[in-house]
Chains A and B, each alone.
Chain A
């Protein structure tokens, strides 16, 4: 079963704009991760945020985590056409090598 739910299901923006995707989950977690998937190919790991962290940055990516609301957001700033992909959040209950539980993903389209 899916743990998380991403919102929105689909998002279309112009190049240069910021894209925000949200993820909600149901049970307690050790960490939450965001992955990108291009055209039904493999998943690329973007960023991991631990349950005791509130915000994390990596390049143009900013992730927040609110464990009291069981939610996370992924912000992509200054989006590019190459950011067009599906984005998934995945939660891990314990540290290291426990199964990732994914949401259904957000399809992002960045229009040049």
Chain B
């Protein structure tokens, strides 16, 4: 039973570019949440997808967008990258059927130069 997977593991981009990060949830899970973790900080909630729709959103600008596919996998897109977008991006999967624990993937480390 595969856990949450994310790709790529590392990414280097320059300011102004666009990036797409990918996440496959744990088997049996239908909900994907994305978090940003800056160095030395705790993760911060970006948004959550369920049934291919954004259900909840944290305090992040519209440059951050996402998508969920019919197989429950998800993408996080960030446009017009800023130096401050450098962070570890974590994907968490869960089931909308009431299970409280969110299972996290290994993350994608993004460096913006």
Contacts and interface: CB of A to CB of B under 8 A. Distances in A.
Contacts of B104: 35, 42-45
Q: Is the interface of B mostly helix, strand, loop or mixed?
A: loop
Contact of B98 (A41, A95, A102): A95
Contacts of A62: none
Contacts of B45: 99-101
Interface string A92-112: 100111111111110000000
A58 interface: no
Nearest to A41: B106
Name, among A33, A43, A48, A101, the residue most crowded by chain B CB atoms within 10 Å (CB to CB).
A43
B94 A40 contact: no
B42 interface: yes
A88 B92 CA distance: 15
B98 A96 contact: yes
A82 B96 CA distance: 33
Contact of B90 (A2, A42, A48, A103): A42
B71 interface: no
Contacts of B99: 96
Contacts of A102: 42-44
Name, among A31, A42, A97, the residue most crowded by chain B CB atoms within 10 Å (CB to CB).
A97
A97 B58 contact: no
A104 B42 contact: yes
B102 interface: yes
Interface of B: 4, 31, 33, 35, 39-45, 48, 50, 56, 58-59, 88, 90, 92, 94-96, 98-107, 109
Closest 5 CB pairs of A and B: A102-B42, A99-B45, A43-B104, A42-B106, A42-B104
Given A1-B59, A97-B96, A99-B33, 8 more contacts: A2-B44, A33-B101, A41-B107, A42-B4, A42-B104, A90-B42, A101-B45, A104-B41
22 contacts: A1-B59, A2-B44, A31-B100, A33-B100, A40-B88, A40-B107, A41-B107, A42-B105, A43-B90, A43-B92, A43-B104, A88-B43, A96-B94, A96-B98, A96-B100, A97-B48, A97-B94, A98-B56, A99-B33, A100-B33, A100-B35, A104-B40
